Structures are given as structure tokens and as C-alpha cells.
């Protein structure tokens, strides 16, 4: 945005825009992804790369074995930790549960004002559904501060939103976010934060179908929990798992992550990378930590880490928001590569001061943070290398593979390949059984093909991290085949007025 464009904004709007784009960087530059890699990190990364290349030239055999051994350590440690977290999530039911009666027991007059941010850009296909789903929230209108955060130059979405609000289904404010780089969801949410009136705030994406009592449940949960719990993450799942194999894979993955892994993290007091929606936060704490990072394309995960570093904790709420699982492979690839790129951004940002982060998160929290944010995309990339080696061995048993896998390394590698993959498949099957969703069982058995897609997305993420670090690849919604707003069978969520 140029100075000439600024003239068209009021002083309040210009100030809010500046804060939404530059606030975190100006207040806490070490927490901002506006700079992807600092000078010190660049020196360290290039130095490490130079050492590896030199070692490969001078001692190729020994260096190759060491690199494979390090990869095995990363694989096995990540696998062991995931299985442990999953088992904790299955066995201890650590989520905060609030019954319907408890949620409705608070008189409307005693409910706090609640801000609901709904960022949407180029979403005309889901605007009507969005308005109906928000209108189904069981919360008094006069205690809701719903902000539809729409880009000022997105004429079609803005027009349909105004038209939808005229139906009277929902009372909401349309907040026109001035067109300015970076064009990201966190920038829009930061803009809305400047005008937020609620004691609590949450985010819903344009395609979300939140459980109607979710806000009331969150209020009750906040009342039960100590003040250090500043954020409550509701669970996310998908309503269109029947659509095709990709949506089944996606649903199975989400159900494991939000249903079992995040609750497992909660029991260990580890930092929780938030989901992009349905995280309920004390507004004053959100402002205290600087809001969202407009340059980070997984602003949710980054915010979860910043909350943990500031001494706050996140709980998981037994309430589900349904989303639309990506049914198109290319659309899925765009979304997943953005997530992986944002994980890498988050890792780079929070390792600029490793000693400080180690102290703030604790040894276990720091290692888990590294495992999730850096380990997830790195393992997905390294998978392609090891799958290639496996295929080469099956086709011709080249001698260099024998060199890379001496006996002391071969057996851990086989354990990682067979037992590791079997453990991940088994976790999916257990989750499907626990969730009573037999439709996902076949997808769980075929999930290795999904892992190949993840590897492609991770490779793309690394490339984009170098050339387009803050570029937000738009995910197209409305591909679920739904043509009306009838009640979703089995979900308990009504989206029709």
C-alpha cells in the first residue's frame, strides 16, 4: 500500500492497518517471520552445508553412513514420541468436557462478550453457508461481536456477504480489510483485533460448521481452568469424509491429530501448535503476545508456540468444528505445502535464540517443538530418498546401498520401515474404531500413498520457503458437492435457518 492509498483511509483505519502488518515486527522483531532467516542462521546453515559437502567429498562412505544413522535416530525418536502421545490421548481422555446442561446453565446476562473473527478472501461459494452456520451458534446476539473480515477489493464476496446479512439470519459486522501485503489470513485477523470488543476471541474459517454450543462450552471451561490457560482449542474434523479417498485420508489424519495427539501434548504440558480455527483465546493475552504474525503462513502453530514461551498453556475442548476436507489433489497440495512452509517458518523464528527458547519451553517442550515444526516436513522430504533406496534395492541390489547400511544400522532401519509404518497405520485404525467411523478403515490401510503426496508437498514447501516465504496459496472451498444447507446427518450441526 502506498502513501497515496493511505489518504483514503481514516486515521483509525490507517493505524489499524499499520499495526496489523508491522506491529509484531516492530514490537518483537525476534518473533516475526518478516525476515525468514537471520544473518546468524544463514551463516550456520551454509556452514553446516559446507561441512557436509566437504565430508562427502573427502570421506563419502563414512559420511553417508553417519547421515543415514542420523536420519534413523530422527525417524525412531519421532515415531516413538508420536505413538506415546497418541496412547496418552487414547488412554487418559484429557480433554475438557462440558455437558450441554452445564453450557446452558449460565444465564445470558452473565455471559461475556465474545469476538468471533471470520477471515474470508475470494470465498463467494461458501458465504451463504457461512452466515447460516454462524447464525446457528447458541449465544445471545447482544453478547456476540462477529467480524466478517473481508478484503476491501474482494467485491463479489463482500456483495454476497451484505446480501446474506439482509436475510436476518445473523447479526455481524463486515470489516473491510484494506488491500495491503502480505495478503494473509493473520494480517486480516490482526486488523480485526484492533476493533475487537470481546473478553474472549475465536476464529472460524469461511467453510466452518462450529458446534452450536461451542462458545458456551469455552466460557465454562475458562471458568474452571487456571488463568495460565489462555487458549482452548476445540477439535476439528471433516463433514465430507465420504466424498473420495483423499477426504477419507484427510479426515483420518485430522481425527488422530486433534482427537489424540493434541490431548496427549496437553497431558505433558508441552507447547501445542494450534489449529487454524476454533481456538478460543483470552483477548487481553492475545494482544499481550502481539496477535498473529502476518508473515507466517501457519500463524496458528506460531501463536501456540508464542503463548507457551510467554508462560501460558493451551487446553483441548471436547467440542467439534466441522470443516471441508480437500477433495482435489492439486488444491490439497497447495494447502499442505503452505502448512509445511509455515512449520518451517515457525521453527526458524523460534530457534533464533535457542538457549532462551530451551529455557522457556523446557527440554522436553523444546524437543517436541523441533520434532513437530521441523521434523514433520523434513521427514516427509527424507522419505522420498529412502523410498528410492528401497525401490533401487528391490530392482537391482546396488552395492552402494550395502555400504550405506552396515549390519548395526540395517536392523534399526528395517524396524523403522516395517514396525514404524505398521505403528502409524495401526494408530489410524485405532482412531477410526474409537471414533466409530468404519468408513475410514480402508483409507487407513492405503495411507502409504497419502504419505507420498505429503513428500511432494514438503519438497514444494522447501522451494517456496526460499523464493516465496510469505506467499499465501489460496485454498479453494465449496468442492464438497453440497448444493444446499440441510442438516448434516450425524454431525449434530444445523446450518439451515
Q: What is the pLDDT of residue 312?
A: 97
More confident residue, 159 or 487: 159
Band of residue 418 on the pLDDT scale cut at 50, 70, 90: confident
Q: What is the pLDDT of residue 371?
A: 95
Q: What is the pLDDT of residue 77?
A: 92
Of 164, 161, 139, 149, give the one whose Cα is nearest residue 118: 149
The 10s digit of each residue's pLDDT in 364-392 is 999 999 999 999 999 999 999 999 998 99
Rounded distance, CA 371 to CA 124, Å?
A: 38
* pTM across the whole model: 0.92
Domain spans in the chain, listed from the N-terminal domain onward: 8-497
DSSP state of 96: B
* CA atoms 111, 235, 307, 263: torsion sign: positive
pLDDT at position 4 over 50: no
Element holding 16 (H helix, E strand): helix 11-27
pLDDT at position 170 over 50: yes
Band of residue 45 on the pLDDT scale cut at 50, 70, 90: very high
**CATH code assigned to 8-497:** 3.90.550.10
The 10s digit of each residue's pLDDT in 278-300 is 999 999 999 999 999 999 999 99
Query: What is the mean pLDDT of the segment spanning 237-257?
Result: 95
Q: What is the pLDDT of residue 125?
A: 81
Query: What is the mean pLDDT of the segment spanning 175-192?
Result: 94
* CA atoms 254, 320, 298, 330: torsion sign: positive
pLDDT at position 182 over 90: yes
Query: What is the mean pLDDT of the segment spanning 75-96?
Result: 88
Band of residue 485 on the pLDDT scale cut at 50, 70, 90: very low
Q: What is the pLDDT of residue 118?
A: 96
> How high does pLDDT run on average in the chain?
91
Q: What is the pLDDT of residue 129?
A: 86
Band of residue 414 on the pLDDT scale cut at 50, 70, 90: confident
Q: What is the pLDDT of residue 1?
A: 45
Which letter, b or e, does each residue of 211-220 get, where b requires 16 or more Cβ atoms within 10 Å of its Cβ? bbbbbbbbbb
Burial of 367 (0-12, 13-18, 19+ CB in 10 A): middle
pLDDT at position 203 over 60: yes
11-15, 309-313, 323-327, 415-419: lowest mean pLDDT where?
A: 415-419
The 10s digit of each residue's pLDDT in 8-20 is 788 889 999 999 9
3-state secondary structure of 187: helix
Pairing of strands 229-238, 114-120: unpaired
Burial of 434 (0-12, 13-18, 19+ CB in 10 A): middle
Band of residue 152 on the pLDDT scale cut at 50, 70, 90: very high
Q: CA-CA distances (angstroms) from residue 113 to 109, 232, 314, 360?
A: 10, 17, 21, 32
Band of residue 97 on the pLDDT scale cut at 50, 70, 90: very high
The 10s digit of each residue's pLDDT in 439-469 is 999 999 999 999 999 999 999 999 999 999 9
Q: What is the pLDDT of residue 495?
A: 34
DSSP state of 9: S
60-69, 222-231, 316-325, 483-492: lowest mean pLDDT where?
A: 483-492
Q: CA-CA distances (angstroms) from residue 282 to 103, 287, 314, 379?
A: 18, 9, 11, 35
In the β-sheet with 313-323, what is the strand arrangement from edge to edge?
Answer: 173-177, 144-151, 114-120, 200-203, 279-282, 229-238, 313-323, 209-210
Q: What is the pLDDT of residue 482?
A: 61
pLDDT at position 303 over 60: yes
Rounded distance, CA 305 to CA 270, Å?
A: 10
Rounded distance, CA 258 to CA 251, Å?
A: 10
Q: What is the pLDDT of residue 396?
A: 86
Amino acid at each position: 500500500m502506498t502513501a497515496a492509498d493511505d489518504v483514503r483511509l481514516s486515521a483509525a483505519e490507517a493505524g489499524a492497518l499499520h499495526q496489523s502488518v508491522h506491529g509484531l515486527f516492530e514490537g518483537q522483531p525476534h518473533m516475526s517471520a518478516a525476515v525468514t532467516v537471520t544473518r546468524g542462521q544463514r551463516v550456520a546453515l551454509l556452514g553446516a552445508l559446507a561441512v557436509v559437502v566437504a565430508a562427502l567429498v573427502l570421506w563419502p562412505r563414512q559420511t553417508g553412513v553417519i547421515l543415514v544413522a542420523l536420519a534413523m535416530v530422527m525417524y525412531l525418536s519421532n515415531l516413538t514420541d508420536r505413538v506415546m502421545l497418541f496412547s496418552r490421548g487414547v488412554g487418559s481422555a484429557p480433554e475438557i468436557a462440558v455437558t450441554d446442561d452445564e453450557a446452558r446453565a449460565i444465564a445470558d446476562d452473565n455471559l461475556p462478550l465474545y469476538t468471533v473473527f471470520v477471515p474470508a478472501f475470494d470465498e463467494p461459494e461458501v458465504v451463504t453457508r457461512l452466515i447460516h452456520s454462524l447464525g446457528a451458534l447458541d449465544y445471545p446476539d447482544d453478547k456476540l461481536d462477529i467480524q466478517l473480515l473481508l478484503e476491501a477489493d474482494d467485491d463479489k464476496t463482500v456483495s454476497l456477504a451484505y446480501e446474506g446479512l439482509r436475510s436476518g439470519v445473523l447479526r455481524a459486522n463486515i470489516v473491510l480489510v484494506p488491500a495491503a501485503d502480505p495478503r494473509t489470513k493473520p494480517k486480516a485477523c490482526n486488523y480485526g483485533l484492533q476493533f475487537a470488543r470481546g473478553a474472549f476471541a475465536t476464529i472460524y474459517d469461511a467453510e466452518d460448521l462450529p458446534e452450536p454450543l461451542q462458545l458456551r462450552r469455552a466460557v465454562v471451561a475458562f471458568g474452571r481452568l487456571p488463568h495460565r490457560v489462555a487458549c482452548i482449542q476445540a477439535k476439528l474434523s471433516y463433514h465430507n469424509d465420504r466424498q473420495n479417498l483423499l477426504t477419507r485420508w484427510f479426515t483420518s489424519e485430522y481425527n488422530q491429530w486433534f482427537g489424540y495427539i493434541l490431548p496427549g501434548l496437553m497431558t505433558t504440558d508441552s507447547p501445542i501448535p494450534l489449529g487454524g480455527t476454533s481456538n478460543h483465546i483470552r483477548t487481553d493475552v492475545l494482544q499481550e503476545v502481539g496477535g498473529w504474525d502476518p508473515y507466517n503462513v501457519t500463524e496458528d502453530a506460531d501463536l501456540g508456540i508464542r503463548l507457551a514461551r510467554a508462560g501460558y498453556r493451551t487446553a483441548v475442548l471436547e467440542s467439534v468444528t466441522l470443516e471441508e476436507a480437500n477433495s482435489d489433489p492439486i488444491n490439497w497440495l497447495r494447502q499442505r505445502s503452505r502448512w509445511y512452509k509455515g512449520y518451517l517458518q515457525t521453527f526458524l523464528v523460534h530457534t533464533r535464540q535457542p538457549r532462551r527458547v530451551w529455557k522457556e519451553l523446557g527440554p522436553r517442550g523444546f524437543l517436541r517443538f523441533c520434532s513437530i515444526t521441523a521434523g514433520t516436513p523434513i521427514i516427509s522430504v527424507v522419505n522420498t530418498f529412502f523410498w528410492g533406496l528401497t525401490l533401487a534395492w528391490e530392482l537391482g541390489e546396488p552395492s552402494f546401498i550395502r555400504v550405506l547400511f552396515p549390519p548395526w544400522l540395517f536392523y534399526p532401519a528395517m524396524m523403522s520401515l516395517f514396525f514404524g509404518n505398521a505403528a502409524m497405520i495401526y494408530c489410524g485404525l485405532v482412531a477410526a474404531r474409537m471414533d466409530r467411523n468404519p468408513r475410514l478403515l480402508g483409507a487407513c490401510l492405503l495411507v502409504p500413498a497419502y504419505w507420498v503426496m505429503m513428500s511432494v508437498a514438503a519438497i514444494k514447501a522447501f522451494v517456496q520457503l526460499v523464493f516465496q516465504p510469505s506467499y499465501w496459496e489460496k485454498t479453494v472451498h465449496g468442492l464438497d458437492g453440497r448444493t444446499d444447507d440441510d442438516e448434516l446427518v450425524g454431525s449434530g450441526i444445523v446450518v439451515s435457518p
